[in-house]
Structure 1
Amino acid sequence: MWQRGIRMAVLGAVLVILAGCGSKTVETAEKAPGEEAAWTVAAPIRIDGVRTADGGRSLVVDAEVPDGARDCVRGLRGEVDTVEHGTVYVRVTFETPSLDRESGCTGTQRVAATVKLGEPLSSRRVMVNSLDVYTPAGATAPALRRCGENGCDPTPPRCTSSSYRQAVNDTDIPKHTSWEERGCDDTWLVLDLSTRMGPVCGDTGDGCSSSHVSQRWFYRAETSGWKPVATNGNAGCMGIHKVLPELPTRLCASLPRLDRD
């Protein structure tokens, strides 16, 4: 089986040369005056998304690759490495002279690589270049959903601590944010999120000061977990009902005004 440990190609840095069933790393080499930059085989800088095509018999992988004033990519190729344990392992490669900065390939562009499958994808997952994993579960076809830090099978939305943690992880807020539940049912969740800001303080009395930035988030239950849909720090229901009129009154009637320290 082709080695799965293919590394990301970084502009102006070390690239991976794919040779046979192994790989080796080469450093930037100087070239003689007038000599053209060498083309090397590399992996995309980043995978932007995966979707199905041809009734599920093909995959289209959107990838970020080098770009510049001259040709920077040729031989874009997507193919199946192997299929096992419910996962289709895919590799996407191309040739590029971007190892040499004088090639001018210091920008990026988005390309689409088509991968032919032997049979429809169905419910199987897709791993691209042994890094990014995508799943059709909880996705809107033809797009596949990228698996995040909660894995490919998020905990169903529940009024539990583990489910709240997953909701916080999926919210665009700083890490190490704490939460306080303000209301929850089978469809809606209200959390007050607090993030400590300022210098890192040690023992009490060391003279440092810190503050908290607080937000109140409202979540709706979906198959993939709690989805953040609105934020509002007003007391009661008046403010949030302007944004989410369908939110049950019992979940917002007693909400206090959110203080910001």
Structure 2
Amino acid sequence: MWQRGIRTVVLGATMVILAGCGSETVDTGEEATGASTAWTLAAPLRIDGVRTSDGGRSLAVDAEVPDGAGDCVRSLRGELDTVEHGTVYVRVTYETRSLDRASGCTGTQRVEATVKLGEPLGARRVMVNSRDVYTPAGAAPPALRHCGENGCDPTPPRCTPSSYRQAINDTDIPEHTSGEERGCDDAWLVLDLSTRTGPVCGDPGDGCSSGVSQRWFYRAETSGWRPVTTNGDAGCAGVHKLLPELPERLCASLPRLDRG
């Protein structure tokens, strides 16, 4: 069986800029007046997207930053760091006082930072703040494609365990899900996916002791297996109502799915 991998990233109220750089408190000179105005250099809470502009000579980076009733962000900057091994490294920073609980900067807002590259991006990837990677490969210009947990170059669709694991990872299903291959060729994949449930799994019940099953049908695309539909009926009659082009050899011997 292939266990669905989940990567968890824990973010604080404000991510301090880049490993090795630490945090920096900016002296505003207002402390003499008694005002609480400690500004800290920080990186965005999250990067929401990257796209090219100016003929590929600039990047527009959509970022999530603190927001509130007062001034929460200033001096937003996008900078080119270096270009190495086919990757453009950029930094997005700003100053914030959201670390001060009295500042009222408890919300978030979306902002756009511009990074000047000097020359067209071309086919190179972009890494933002040593964390998020984007690529023009497989993207719809001017947007770049975010490289997810399968990397920038997903495994091609194949009838192999590693390719099945990627199919499970790319399916909108809960944690604690495993899969059993029911049929595969160069164009189609059939997987029975079983999800364990219970309080250990984050659900009511006695332990991770029960389960919910689904049968997923996937179509091969250049980026990997794409989930198309689900159907738990025996044989081909049920799935052919939804997916008539599925070859009969992949569904004729399918048993009725026990949903747990």
TM-score with structure 2 length normalisation? Answer: 0.81
Matched, 1:124 2:124: yes
In the TM superposition, what whole-angstrom CA distance separates every residue of 1:156-215 from its partner, at most 9, and x where no partner exists?
111112111111122222344221112222222111111233377xxxxxx988222211
Mapped contact 1:9–1:16 kept (Cα < 8 A): no
| Structure 1 segment 234-249 matched on structure 2, within 5 A | 234-249=233-248
- Per the alignment, in what secondary structure is the counterpart of residue 23 of structure 1? coil
Measured at CA, do residues 33 and 247 of structure 1 come closer, stay the same or move farther in structure 2, by a change above 3 Å?
farther
Residues 157 and 225 of structure 1 are in contact (CA less than 8 Å); yes or no, is this contact kept in structure 2? yes
Q: Distance in 2 between matches of 1:237 and 1:25?
A: 63
1:32, distance to aligned residue in structure 2 (A): 8.4
5+ residue gaps, structure 2, are 1-9, 26-30, 201-205
Give distance in 1, aligned partners of 2:228 and 2:142: 23
Deviations 1:31-88 (A, max 9, x none): 7895142222211011112122222222111111001112221221111100001111
Distance (Å, rounded) in 2 between the aligned partners of 1:191 and 1:17: 42
Does the 8 Å contact 2:24/2:41 carry over to 1? no
Secondary structure at 1:92 match in 2? strand
Residue matched to 1:38: 38
CA displacement at 1:120 relative to structure 2: 1.5
Match of 1:136 in 2: 136
What's the secondary structure of 1:189's corresponding residue? Answer: strand
Unaligned runs of 5+ in 1: 1-7, 201-206
> Which deviates more from structure 2 when the two are superposed, residues 83-92 or residues 244-253?
244-253
What is the match of residue 188 of structure 1? 188
RMSD of Structure 2 on Structure 1 (CA): 2.7
Number of aligned positions between the proteins: 240
Cα distance change on mapping 1:169 and 1:199 into 2, 3 Å: same
- Stretches of 4+ moved more than 6 A in 1? none
Greater Cα shift, 124-133 or 45-54: 45-54
Deviates more, 1:231-240 or 1:212-221: 231-240
Taking a change above 3 Å as real, the CA distance of residues 32 and 216 of structure 1, as seen in their structure-2 partners, is farther
Contact kept, 8 Å, 1:216 with 1:231, in 2: the verdict is yes
1:212 is aligned to: 211
User: Within 1, Cα distance between the matches of 2:228 and 2:100?
Assistant: 46
Pick which of 191-200 and 72-81 moved more: 191-200
Deviates more, 1:65-74 or 1:136-145: 136-145
Q: Are the equivalent residues in 1 in contact too, given 2:79–2:90 (CA < 8 A)?
A: yes
The match for 2:12 is 10
